């Protein structure tokens, strides 16, 4: 089953004719989450060929315009297109007021419910869960209250060890599902056959961490440890380390240091300052610390492959 | 001197991957005005190669999202780019609250002054004037308080009639400018030579009228009479006349009727409903009533030529 991250935009602050502010789609086994929603995100979603009807949860890192100015337009479009199922929005305290005020002044339709989950905790917390995945906050350190998001796939069913199963004649096909779920099997004579003897473990769960905007903040390392993919902002090069700190951003080197400390499998850097006409300099800088670093491409879908048991 | 209208977007309501919501640049002899500012307008301005620094006045017809959701992003970008001269915004009552609330919640910089001119009159009024042009409101009839805008070039200087001038030896070169401005010349003996005898009239002033969104509203005809160019919304075809009225919009036929009654030189229709994959049907409908009707093209600049005296 798929686990894909699609970068809709990764520009910092000021959009330009050929770049887009922060927004990403994360698709985990059919559940599609939107993270951040800069101006023009609804167009980028259309270009990604993702149906608006697939979106049920939106996560906003912080209330800077380049991460949120596209949200009211997206909601208005969903309203105009006749959506009637509710939409959940997770974001900092203030986001409900921010959106509702705009909707109210623009006399927008109200044909579906907006369910706001306002965040204000400084510690990581589970904020969303369904059958396929869990989403945790990653408290970041920016000029402004800001969260990253950790998206963890839930483990799938265990796999039947048919050789072991066939040695227990009482096990019938209709018992398989419960055994795959992890239940032990109890024979007619009361003997308990542990599930572990009848099955192999499921494939390891995959995970993705989105960290933008933030200054270098090693406190996040335990939260994002061993993720398969990390997106970490790298607004500046190390030559502008002081400016990075002052503005609440990271250098490419610092992003790579976080990736290394957290032993992630792969790092994508983004949110580059417009002063870098070619972000290769930032990539080179990061790769010196963490070889598995990559640049994002607009509308590129990055697949996190299923891991071997 | 130039008088150009650049259509940045003309889509109705829902933006799509290849169309843009309402926004136009009107350039009159070097003064550049922005009319309406749907989501993504700042990118369209960049694509038009217009410098942000040329924008000093923005006019918003009404507070529906497809006409205003790009405004806060544009202002934020101007702030981030270090603008320090003030910016005037003309729009319906509520626009100041709408923008300032967003800027405040997104913790935006405040390095230049936003001067809001909130409109609430139901009669046409002069709202902006400089040496080159005047802007009047055109009260429209929509579901929501809405104004179109009439942009009138000011007449230039009169032209010297050199044959007449040379017959008055006391007229020196340094007198020419006052005469061109319209002043009579007074001879040493007290005789007044009327300006009209010494000059030819200036080229007739040009004018442009923007009318969106509105239902069929003939009350605007006296305001826009004889304009050189009229942009009038034509959301629906005449087959949906009732829907047009109900939603506060016009049909292509109605737009053409307004153009005909007002005896304008040229009509551009826009703000088409997304149901018309090809707006040719709307153009054909309008041309039956008013032959000089045209479809807009995104980023096309329409020049209003200087008229002969």
Chain B contacts of A37, Cβ < 8 Å? none
Rounded to an integer, the average pLDDT of B69-92 is 96
- Cβ neighbours of residue A167 under 8 Å, at least 6 residues apart? none
Q: Is A143 in the B-facing interface, judged by CB distances under 8 Å?
A: yes
Q: Is A14 in the B-facing interface, judged by CB distances under 8 Å?
A: yes
Interface of A with B in 30-49 (CB under 8 A): 39-40, 42-43, 46-47
| CB burial readout A256-276, b (16+ within 10 A) else e | bbbbbbbebbbbbbbbbbeeb
CA B264 to chain A, closest CA, distance in angstroms equals: 32
C-beta atoms of B17 and A47 within 8 A: yes
φ, ψ for residue A58, nearest 5 deg: -125, 135
* pLDDT at site A58: 98
* pLDDT at site A175: 94
* pLDDT at site B293: 98
CA B1 to chain A, closest CA, distance in angstroms equals: 29
Interface of B with A in 204-243 (CB under 8 A): none
Q: How many residues does chain B have?
A: 309
Q: Is A116 in the B-facing interface, judged by CB distances under 8 Å?
A: no
C-beta atoms of A106 and B14 within 8 A: no
Burial (CB count within 10 angstroms: exposed 0-12, middle 13-18, buried 19+), residue B100? middle
Confidence bin at B12 (pLDDT 50/70/90) = confident
CA–CA gap between residue B180 and residue A170 (Å, rounded): 110
Q: What percent of chain B has pLDDT over 90?
A: 92
Which segments in chain A show pLDDT lower than 50?
Answer: none
C-beta atoms of B102 and A107 within 8 A: no
Q: Is A70 in the B-facing interface, judged by CB distances under 8 Å?
A: yes
Structure tokens that stand for B89 in this block: 């915004």
* Residues of A with catalytic function: 66
Assess whether pLDDT exceeds 80 at residue B1.
Answer: no
CA A135 to chain B, closest CA, distance in angstroms equals: 24
Structural domains for chain A: 3-156+203-300 (3.60.15.10), 159-200 (no CATH)
C-beta atoms of B81 and A39 within 8 A: no
CA–CA gap between residue B256 and residue B258 (Å, rounded): 5
* pLDDT at site B307: 81
φ, ψ for residue B83, nearest 5 deg: -55, 145
Count how many Cα atoms sit within 13 Å of the Cα of residue B3 in the half-sphere of its side chain: 20
CA B229 to chain A, closest CA, distance in angstroms equals: 29
* pLDDT at site A215: 98
- Which 3-state string (H, E, C) describes B223-289? HHCCCCEEEEECCECHHHHHHHHHHCCCEHHHHHHHHHHCCCCCEEEECECCCCCCCHHHHHHHHHH
Q: Is A76 in the B-facing interface, judged by CB distances under 8 Å?
A: yes
C-beta atoms of A101 and B101 within 8 A: yes
C-beta atoms of B69 and A76 within 8 A: yes
- Separation of first and last alpha carbons in chain B: 15
C-beta atoms of A106 and B73 within 8 A: no
* Residues of B with catalytic function: 66
Q: Is the distance from CB of A99 to CB of A72 less than 8 angstroms?
A: yes
* pLDDT at site A108: 80
Chain A contacts of B64, Cβ < 8 Å? 106-107
C-beta atoms of A47 and B105 within 8 A: no
CA A30 to chain B, closest CA, distance in angstroms equals: 23
Burial (CB count within 10 angstroms: exposed 0-12, middle 13-18, buried 19+), residue A296? buried
* pLDDT at site B17: 80
Assess whether pLDDT exceeds 80 at residue B77.
Answer: yes
Chain B contacts of A40, Cβ < 8 Å? 39-40, 43
Structure tokens that stand for B262 in this block: 């007002």
Neighbours of B221 (CB within 10 A): 16
Burial (CB count within 10 angstroms: exposed 0-12, middle 13-18, buried 19+), residue B173? exposed
- E strand or H helix at A174, and its extent? none
Alpha-helix runs per DSSP H in A57-146: 65-68, 71-80, 95-105
Assess whether pLDDT exceeds 90 at residue B19.
Answer: no
Q: How many CB pairs under 8 A join A and B?
A: 95
For the sheet containing B114-119, what is the strand order? B114-119, B87-92, B55-59, B31-35, B23-28, B3-9, B301-303
* pLDDT at site A264: 98
Q: Is the distance from CB of B136 to CB of B128 less than 8 angstroms?
A: no
- E strand or H helix at A207, and its extent? strand A207-211
Assess whether pLDDT exceeds 80 at residue B13.
Answer: no
**Nearest residue, CB atoms, B73 vs list A69, A77, A102:** A69
A159 labeled part of a ligand binding site: no
CA–CA gap between residue A106 and residue B142 (Å, rounded): 13
**Nearest residue, CB atoms, B77 vs list A14, A63, A98:** A14
C-beta atoms of B65 and A72 within 8 A: yes
CA–CA gap between residue B231 and residue B8 (Å, rounded): 13
Burial (CB count within 10 angstroms: exposed 0-12, middle 13-18, buried 19+), residue B56? middle
């Amino acid at each position: 089953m798929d686990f894909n991250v699609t970068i809709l935009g990764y520009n910092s602050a000021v959009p330009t004719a050929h770049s887009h502010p922060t927004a990403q789609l994360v698709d985990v086994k059919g559940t599609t989450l939107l993270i951040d929603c800069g101006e023009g995100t609804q167009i980028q979603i259309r270009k990604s060929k993702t149906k608006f009807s697939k979106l049920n949860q939106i996560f906003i890192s912080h209330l800077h315009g380049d991460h949120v100015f596209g949200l009211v337009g997206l909601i208005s479009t969903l309203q105009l297109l006749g959506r009637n199922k509710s939409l959940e929005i997770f974001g900092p305290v203030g986001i409900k007021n921010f959106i509702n005020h705009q909707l109210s002044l623009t006399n927008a339709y109200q044909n579906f419910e907006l369910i706001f989950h306002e965040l204000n905790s400084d510690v990581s917390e589970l904020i969303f869960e369904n059958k396929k995945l869990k989403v945790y906050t990653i408290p970041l350190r920016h000029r402004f209250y800001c969260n990253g998001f950790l998206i963890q796939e839930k483990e799938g069913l265990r796999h039947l060890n048919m050789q072991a199963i066939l040695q227990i004649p009482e096990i019938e096909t209709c018992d398989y599902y419960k055994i795959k779920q992890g239940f032990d099997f109890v024979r007619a004579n009361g003997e308990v056959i542990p599930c572990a003897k009848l099955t192999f473990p499921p494939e390891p769960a995959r995970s993705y961490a989105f960290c933008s905007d933030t200054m270098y903040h090693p406190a996040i390392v335990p939260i994002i440890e061993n993720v398969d993919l990390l997106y970490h902002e790298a607004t500046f090069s190390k030559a502008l380390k002081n400016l990075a700190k002052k503005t609440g951003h990271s250098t490419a080197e610092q992003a790579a240091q976080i990736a290394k400390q957290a032993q992630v499998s792969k790092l994508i850097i983004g949110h580059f300052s417009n002063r870098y006409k070619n972000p290769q300099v930032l990539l080179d800088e990061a790769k010196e610390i963490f070889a598995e670093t990559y640049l994002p491409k607009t509308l590129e879908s990055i697949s996190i492959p299923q891991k071997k048991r």
